[in-house]
């Protein structure tokens, strides 16, 4: 057979395949994104549920969804993309400190369009309650236009500051938290400069990342992210009895739900399923040799034949090769 | 980088202390729920824990000074109440890990 020089090769031809004149596999990334958009439209009439791809782009190591999950690492957050991962409404009424209102203060002042933290005392903060919903993920923006010393951290008021939310120096900061209480609280970071602080805060914003994201904040109970060695399919490994990655819904989904999943055996679509206010996307099943947990979709209604075809076609992309008893 | 799951166990009587330790060393926020009475083997509460690869040698080495320093540092970083040196020493000497745990 004739080997084409690369400069003359037609589109789709790959010399690396060592199979002259045979086309390389055509990427279906465009069709894949089109299918995801079509799946999001299944929820266009306010249907409840979610779609959680087993795609590394939507999997995170920590429950706040800030550290991308790594191959053979743990998964603490799996984003629901059914709402398009858009941000919700602004939750802070007086984030620009135009007046000394709304916030509850301790050891701080609000004047001249900023909140000022100046003290070496023990209780230096501003807060407001009944703002957040525990178990939801929020994107936080904070500006520190002036900083002479110390640092700021986001807290839940009740237990401890949210890890990895410390801010020091001047600048605009973006943070993400998994809310554990209803409180919005900004406090002096006692771990910076011995707690001595002198800085201003402005432009505070809290917005929810919309969706019923699946969360696990206890590392011992997180599944692992795996990838098949040949077909390069990402999947979650529920390899111990305590594993759970749980999506929480605002209300029970009822008894008419459709649940579609990808497993090692292929795509399954179960109808007339009952789902309460929570659903574990990565259950442990002792009878399964390999706990292959791929894409999952839950919607609180029946799907039409065309919709099932869409989901099946899209989900088949996550089905692995199986050869000689091994998942490849 | 993460290890595969490492079995860890503590006497049931130390479940609260063990979870206080887990809350500090867990990189995430839910470490306090690591050990439960739903998972007990031979008088020990038991969990299969993924560790960051750099941290596992500290746990397995069970060197007293290394435990005291690492746990105090992690508690400060997370803004959590530190464990007393006596509690850390008790947990260090009581830990069963890996093959030390009877099946």
* Residue range B54-97, pLDDT digits in tens: 999 999 999 999 999 999 999 888 778 889 999 999 999 999 99
- DSSP-assigned letter for residue B66: H
Average pLDDT over residues A273-300: 91
* Interface check B41 vs A, CB under 8 A: no
pLDDT in tens, B37-46: 999 998 999 9
* Cβ distance of B31 and A63 shorter than 8 Å: no
Of B1, B4, B31, the CB nearest to A219: B31
Neighboring chain B residues of A217 at a CB cutoff of 8 Å = 28-30
- Asked if A76 lies within 8 A of B79 by C-beta distance, the reply is no
- Put simply, whether the predicted model's pTM sits higher than 0.80 gets the answer yes
* Per-residue pLDDT reduced to its tens digit, A170-189: 999 999 999 999 999 999 98
Q: Is the pLDDT at A9 greater than 80, yes or no?
A: no
**How confident is the model over A262-277, as a mean pLDDT?**
95
Nearest to A204 by CA among A108, A146, A139, A151: A139
CA distance, residue A291 to nearest chain B CA (Å): 15
Q: Is the pLDDT of residue A140 over 70?
A: yes
**Cα angle: A274, vertex A278, A282; to 5 degrees:** 95
Radius of gyration of chain B (CA): 13
With an 8 Å Cβ cutoff, is B77 touching chain A? yes
Helix axes B64-78, B85-94, angle to 10 degrees: 120
- Which of B34, B36, B78 minimises the CB distance to A160? B78
pLDDT of residue A13: 46
Other CB atoms within a 10 A radius of the CB of residue B36 amount to 16
b/e per residue, A198-222, with b = 16+ CB within 10 A?
bbbbbbbbbbbbbbbbbbbbbbbbb
A274–B contact, CB cutoff 8 A: no
HEC sequence for chain A: CCCCCHHHCCCCECHHHCCCCCECCCCCHHHHHHHHHHHHHCCCCCCCEEEECCCHHHEECCCCCCCECCCCCECCEECCCCCCCCECCCCCCCCCCCCCCCCEEECEEEECCEEEEEECCCCCEEEECCCCCCCCEEEEEEEEEEEEECEEEEECCCCCECCCCCEECCEEEEEEEECCCCCEEEEECCCCHHHCEEEEEEEEEEEEECCCCEECCCHHHCCEEEECCCCCCEEEECCCCCCCCEEECCCCCEEEEEEEEEECCEEEEEEEEEECCEEECCCCCCCCCCCEECCEEEECCCCCHHHHHHHHHHHHHHCCCEECCEEC
Select the highest-mean-pLDDT range: A121-135, A164-178, A200-214, A287-301.
A200-214
Residue B57 near residue B98 (C-beta atoms within 8 A): no
Average pLDDT score, chain A: 90
Measured between CB atoms, does A76 come within 8 Å of chain B?
A: yes
| Residue A139 pLDDT exceeds 60 | yes
- B28 and chain A in contact, CB less than 8 A: yes
Contact A220 B47 (CB under 8 A): yes
pLDDT confidence of residue B14: 97
What DSSP character marks residue B12? G
Q: Smallest Cβ distance to A218: which of B2, B31, B39?
A: B31
Partner-chain contact B79 A74, CB within 8 Å? no
Question: What confidence tens digit (pLDDT) does each residue in A11-51 have?
Answer: 544 444 444 444 455 567 788 889 999 999 999 999 999 99
Cα A53 to Cα A65: distance, rounded to the nearest angstrom: 15
> Is B77 close to A191, i.e. CB distance below 8 A?
yes
Q: Do B28 and A219 touch (CB under 8 A)?
A: yes
**Distance (Å) of CA A141 to CA A175, A296, A298:** 6, 31, 32
Question: Cβ separation of B2 and A221 shorter than 8 Å?
Answer: no
With an 8 Å Cβ cutoff, is A91 touching chain B? no
pLDDT attached to residue A307: 97
Q: How far B63 CA sits from the closest chain A CA (Å)?
A: 23
pLDDT of residue A27: 67
pLDDT at position A120, please?
76
Within a 13 Å sphere around the CA of A152, how many CA atoms are in the beta-carbon half? 34
Are residues A74 and B50, on separate chains, in Cβ contact within 8 Å? yes
Higher pLDDT, B57 or A325: B57
- The per-residue pLDDT of chain B, averaged, comes to 93
Q: How far apart are CA A138 and CA A304, in angstroms?
A: 34
């Amino acid at each position: 057979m004739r080997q084409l020089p690369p400069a003359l090769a037609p589109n789709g031809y790959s010399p690396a395949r060592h199979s002259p004149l045979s086309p390389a596999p055509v990427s279906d990334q465009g069709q894949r994104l089109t299918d995801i958009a079509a799946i999001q439209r299944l929820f266009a009439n306010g249907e409840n549920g979610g779609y959680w791809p087993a795609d590394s782009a939507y999997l995170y190591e920590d429950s706040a969804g800030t550290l991308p999950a790594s191959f053979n690492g743990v998964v603490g957050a799996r984003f629901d993309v059914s709402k398009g991962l858009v941000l919700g409404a602004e939750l802070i009424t007086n984030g620009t400190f135009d007046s000394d209102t709304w916030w509850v203060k301790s050891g701080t002042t609000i004047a001249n369009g900023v909140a000022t933290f100046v003290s070496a005392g023990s209780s230096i903060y501003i807060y407001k309650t009944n703002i957040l919903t525990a178990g939801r993920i929020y994107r936080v923006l904070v500006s520190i236009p002036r900083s002479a010393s110390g640092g700021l951290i986001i807290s839940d008021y009740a237990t401890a500051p949210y890890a990895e939310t410390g801010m020091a120096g001047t600048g605009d900061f973006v943070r993400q938290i998994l809310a554990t209480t209803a409180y919005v609280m900004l406090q002096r970071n006692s771990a910076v400069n011995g707690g001595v602080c002198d800085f201003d805060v402005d432009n505070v914003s809290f917005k929810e990342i919309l969706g019923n994201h699946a969360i696990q904040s206890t590392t011992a109970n997180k599944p692992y992210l795996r990838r098949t060695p040949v077909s390069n399919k990402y999947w979650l490994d529920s390899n111990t009895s305590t594993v759970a990655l749980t999506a929480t819904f605002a209300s029970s989904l009822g008894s008419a739900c459709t649940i579609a999943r990808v497993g090692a055996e292929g795509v399954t679509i179960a109808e007339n399923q009952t789902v309460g206010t929570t659903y574990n996307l990565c259950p442990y099943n002792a009878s399964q040799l390999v706990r292959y947990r791929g894409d999952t979709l839950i919607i609180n209604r029946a799907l039409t034949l065309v919709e099932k075809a869409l989901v099946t076609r899209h989900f088949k992309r996550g089905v692995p090769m199986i050869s000689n008893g091994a998942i490849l | 980088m993460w290890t595969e799951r490492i079995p860890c166990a503590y006497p049931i009587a130390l479940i609260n202390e063990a979870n206080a330790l887990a809350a500090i060393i867990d990189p995430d926020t839910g470490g306090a729920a690591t050990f439960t009475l739903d998972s007990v083997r031979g008088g020990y509460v038991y969990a299969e824990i993924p560790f960051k690869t750099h941290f596992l040698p500290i746990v397995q080495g069970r060197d007293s000074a290394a435990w005291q320093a690492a746990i105090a540092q992690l508690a400060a970083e997370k803004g959590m109440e530190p464990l007393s040196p006596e509690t850390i020493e008790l947990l260090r000497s009581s830990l069963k890990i890996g093959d030390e745990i009877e099946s």
